[in-house]
Amino acid sequence: MSTSLLYHAFGVRGYEYRSTAYANGGVTMTIEQPRQALCCSKCGGRRVHAKGGVTRAFRSLPIGGKPVWLRMTVPRVLCRTCFVDRQVKVGFADPKKSYTRSFARYVIELAAMMTLADVARHLQISWDVAKGIVGDDLQRRFAKPKLRSLKRIAIDEIYLGKRHKYVTLVMDLDGGAIVFVGDGKGEQSLEPFWRRLGHSRAKIVAVAADLSPAYSAAIRKNIPEAQLVFDRFHLVKLLNEHLTELRRELHHEATDPLQKQVLKGTRWLLLKRSADLDPKRHERQRLKEALRLNESLATAYYLKEDLAQVWQQAGKVSGRIVLDHWIADAESSGIRQLMKFARTLQTHREGILNWYDHPISTGPLEGTNNKIKLLQRQAYGYRDLPFFKLKLLALHNAQHALVG
């Protein structure tokens, strides 16, 4: 094997080939650094005195299905310029690593197309080594996203299970990337983000969030110039919860067995929009029968359908009129759940109407939540939370959902 092949095939430059050995199903190539190439690892000076060395083996790119190691004696030198006595730098591997840089790049390329378990099995390395290589790459590329260009963001929390509980996510709505992952939920989870945002001098113009008082207070305190947009998804979700509660109350109060039976199977029908009802399963007819038997349930359902009109107007002025009419109708309905929801809308009225200035929502984050749950299922959960956070920050760059 020629020395030039070391450079072109394995990315090893400035070293000379000595020999090759075949043992235990692998290939070990012995290389050597020329004496005239030795230099001090601190000052870079070449006035050095060799003082022996330590023999090390570095994992390199495989040949076919066979693992390859590069074996060399790493020289130790005494610098006559700065008087430092230490080993020279290895040109093809990072400090404290047992593999070459070309091998690390190969692992990263494979990890984009298969799971970490598959990468480790294919290259005959431990899963921890594969995860460490990918983790170092994620740390370098995504650990500190640039915040200077942020304009519109979304804030929401997700539940990761019993081990890690909640994390708070901040997403760049223009770029689609998660730019911050905070521990827990509430105002305190966002404090590191506000500090980084202040240093970046970004000009946030709009923030999409749910109805959480903690998030609202944190946003108004730290970026008072930004418009707070309360998310439509969470408003509809809250109204659906009130509808479900109303259906339960009516079911408990019903005395007619037929009425109880009709109410029992209408929960999911009430949560659907009328346009989404499946005619093949007679959902429209079943819902119509339930609404006919229960006046209050019918009132609540039709008001739920009308709520969508708030976001379908030509402008903010007409949207305000529709919202005020909806609140008035809900308050005059006499239905406790609707009256309670109407008070919620009245409290968050301006944030709801800010949608006309900035039509944003936490919808992209909700879609990301589904991807995150898929990642957790495929990896059987994550014990290493810092690594999982890096995976979240790099989620927008992922081409495959293979992580286990």
pLDDT > 90: what percent of the chain? 46
Mean pLDDT for 155-161 is 85
pLDDT score at 272: 52
Mean pLDDT for 300-314 is 87
> What DSSP element (H or E) covers 179?
strand 178-183
pLDDT at 282 over 70: no
Nearest to 33 by CA among 93, 106, 79, 83: 93
Mean pLDDT for 17-37 is 91
pLDDT at 281 over 60: no
Nearest to 15 by CA among 49, 58, 52: 58
How far out from the chain centre does Cα 108 lie? 19
DSSP helix/strand/coil, 2 = coil
How far out from the chain centre does Cα 23 lie? 44
Report the alpha-carbon distance of residue 26 to residue 62 in Å, rounded: 9
Q: In whole angstroms, how far apart are CA 168 and each of 193, 213, 369, 375?
A: 10, 15, 11, 17
pLDDT score at 137: 94
pLDDT score at 323: 95
DSSP helix/strand/coil, 294 = coil
DSSP helix/strand/coil, 398 = coil
Structure tokens at 365: 């984050």
Which has more pLDDT, 302 or 279?
302
pLDDT at 403 over 60: no
Model pLDDT for residues 53-85, shown as the tens digit of each residue = 899 999 999 998 899 999 999 999 988 888 888
Report the alpha-carbon distance of residue 310 to residue 232 in Å, rounded: 10
Mean pLDDT for 20-45 is 89
pLDDT at 130 over 80: yes
Report the alpha-carbon distance of residue 107 to residue 110 in Å, rounded: 5
Mean pLDDT of the chain: 84
pLDDT score at 400: 45
pLDDT band at 31 (very low <50, low <70, confident <90, very high): very high
> Whole-prediction pTM value?
0.77
pLDDT at 260 over 60: no
Which has more pLDDT, 290 or 194?
194
Mean pLDDT for 226-232 is 93
pLDDT band at 108 (very low <50, low <70, confident <90, very high): very high
pLDDT score at 372: 78
Least confident of 8-22, 208-222, 290-304, 343-357: 290-304
